[in-house]
Amino acid sequence: MKQPLTFCSPVIAALMLGAPVAHADVTPQEVWQSWLSQMEPFGYEVSATETQMGNDLEISDLVMNIAIPEEDATVEVSMPGFTFVDKGDGTVALEMPAIYPIVAKFSGDGEEGQVNINYNTTGLSMVASGEPDAINYAYSAASVEMSVGEIMAEGQTINLGDISVTMVNANGNSLISGTDLMSSDQEFSADQLILNVDVKDPTGSEEGAIINATLSNVTFDSLTAFPMAMDPEDFGKAMAQGLAMDFGLAHNGADIAFDINADGERVSGTQQAASGEFGLAFDAEGFALNQQAFDAAVSMQVPDLPFPVSYELGEASMEISVPLAMADEEQDFKLAVTLADFAVPDMLWSVFDPTAQLPRDPATVSFDVTGTVKILADLFAPEAMMMDEPGELHSVSINDIHVSMVGAELTGAGAFTFDNTDKVSFDGMPRPEGSVELSLTGGNALMDKAVAMGLASEEDVMGARMMMGMFTVPGEGEDSLKSTIEVNAEGHVMANGMRLK
């Protein structure tokens, strides 16, 4: 398991910039001790020289040692230091050089390495306020750039290239509070988040990658909680003690250009999106993930094709939520996916449909499924990995199915319950009971066009129509079919009242 550096140190939080505000009195020593206390649960050994200068506290020669037992390795991060300045009003300012080098040394398995990181800021301001067990950090900067400098491995300097991340007009607050259970509540925004990568194979081959990405109007918020007595090697126990995270990232514009040469093949292109969101949350009770992108456009030049591959997408979204806690009662889950208004240019259509037989309207594929399950074991315990069935499926609701493309449209909805005491009727699967309603329009016309294009023979289409006739009945309107697939309490499978099993 990777050490969770995002939890470990307000030093890193300050460098990354990140969220709510309290007003009371804190001293430089109290702020420094708060930083140190957050490193303890993760096994970080910190050494530094502390120099009291009146009411101010100077920290120099800062070194963090991080052990990674499962890899028999250690990481040592060293920084020049900084000064906590007592502002005389109960708040403390952090002062650090505008050019701030960070050195990370790695050792393990008889090998050693080093990465130099350049952390450069313009107009950085960071002020701590509040009280010792609830300190708020407010920070802003005209620009923050973190770039990879010299890399050393096995005593040799590796010339990898340029890698940098830059934030423009960044602002944030971070409230650190709690004692036994430490929490971090963050809010952050930036006009731009810019990634620049220009790397080449250090052995001198032609392989390499160039990536230039910009996110505009970026916002980030997170709420994390971690127990002070946490064992970073026992994730399940940490979850039971209160380890949790809930964060979201959003932007109002993404622009990416890339040129990648790997394994003898070169791929280049561009990607844009008008806006997007990403969210992730977990605690001892459950896990949730959601992602959305709107009005995306992609163009790529790929090997073996003389023209670029491009497409547009009105929406790409996904939502997942699943329970994690063992419980006697049923718990909800959800899975929903949408790919809406997918369109490709006429040039690409002409490759496989040169006579324009097929409608070229944008395509949509989406589904929304919810249901209930029972979690029968502690999913984080080693013995859970040995269980054939750590959980039971009890119900599924198909809230929506929608597939629309090349002139045909399929829709559907339905619901099923599952009898986990009967795993004989369906060969080891819990016996379902319920039904799903399906409707298809334009299916026959699509098959006719497939024959006209030479994609299928008359015999193939005849067989498909006979199969459809077994499962469907005429619907309302021209070229419309519908079907009701039902599984009854006896385990019989029915299609429009006709028994299939």
What pLDDT, on a 0 to 100 scale, did the predictor assign at position 24?
Answer: 53
- The torsion of the CA quartet 110, 81, 128, 135, rounded to 10 degrees, works out to 30
Bridge-partner residues for 181, per DSSP?
227
Residue 293 · residue 272 · CB < 8 Å: no
- Six-digit token string for 232: 């970073």
Instruction: Quickly list H helices, 221-310.
Output: 235-241
Instruction: Using DSSP, state whether 427 is helix, strand or coil.
Output: coil
Altogether, the residues listed in the chain come to a count of 501
Query: What is the total count of domains within the chain?
Result: 1
What pLDDT, on a 0 to 100 scale, did the predictor assign at position 238?
Answer: 86
Q: Write 252-256 long-range contacts (CB < 8 A, 24+).
A: 252/216, 252/217, 253/214, 253/215, 253/216, 253/217, 254/213, 254/214, 254/215, 254/216, 254/293, 255/213, 255/214, 255/216, 256/211, 256/212, 256/213, 256/214
- Six-digit token string for 219: 């916002």
Residue 171 · residue 191 · CB < 8 Å: no
Question: Does 296 fall in a domain?
Answer: no
Question: Does 377 fall in a domain?
Answer: no
* Cα angle value 169/172/178 (rounded, 5°): 165
What pLDDT, on a 0 to 100 scale, did the predictor assign at position 6?
Answer: 34
Among candidates 184, 196, 191, which has minimal Cα distance to 256? 196
Show pLDDT as tens, one digit a residue, over the chain (501 residues): 333 333 333 344 443 443 333 345 899 999 999 888 877 767 788 999 999 999 999 999 999 998 877 677 888 999 988 999 999 999 999 999 999 999 999 888 778 899 999 999 999 999 999 999 899 999 999 999 999 999 988 778 888 899 999 999 999 999 999 888 888 999 999 999 999 999 998 887 888 999 999 999 999 999 999 888 877 778 888 888 899 999 999 999 999 999 999 888 899 999 999 999 999 999 999 999 999 999 999 999 988 878 889 999 999 999 999 999 999 999 999 999 999 999 999 888 888 888 888 899 999 999 999 999 999 988 887 777 777 788 999 999 999 999 999 999 999 999 999 999 999 999 889 999 999 999 999 998 888 888 888 888 888 888 888 888 888 899 888 999 999 999 999 999 999 988 888
Instruction: Give Cα separations from 281 to 201, 277, 278, 403 (angstroms).
Output: 37, 14, 11, 30
Question: Does 457 fall in a domain?
Answer: no
- Six-digit token string for 320: 């997942």
* Burial (CB count <10 Å: 0-12, 13-18, 19+), residue 418: buried
Which uninterrupted H or E stretch holds 35? helix 28-39
Among candidates 92, 181, 99, 96, which has minimal Cα distance to 137? 92
Bridge-partner residues for 222, per DSSP?
186, 247
- Taking the alpha carbons at both ends of the chain, their separation in whole angstroms is 48
Quote the pTM value: 0.84
- Six-digit token string for 292: 């959305």
Question: Does 67 fall in a domain?
Answer: yes
Left (φ > 0), alpha (ψ -120 to 50) or beta: where does 312 sit? beta
Among candidates 233, 251, 252, 254, which has minimal Cα distance to 243? 233
Question: Does 56 fall in a domain?
Answer: yes
The crossing angle, in degrees rounded to 10, of helices 458-471 and 443-452 is 170
Question: Does 104 fall in a domain?
Answer: yes
Question: Does 85 fall in a domain?
Answer: yes
Residue 283 · residue 239 · CB < 8 Å: yes
What pLDDT, on a 0 to 100 scale, did the predictor assign at position 457?
Answer: 86
What pLDDT, on a 0 to 100 scale, did the predictor assign at position 188?
Answer: 94
Which uninterrupted H or E stretch holds 151? strand 134-153
Distance CA 23, CA 27 (A): 13
Instruction: Please give the single-letter amino acid code of residue 337.
Output: V
Backbone angles phi and psi of 134, in degrees to 5:
-160, 85
Structural domain harbouring 62: 24-158
What pLDDT, on a 0 to 100 scale, did the predictor assign at position 348?
Answer: 86
Question: Does 365 fall in a domain?
Answer: no
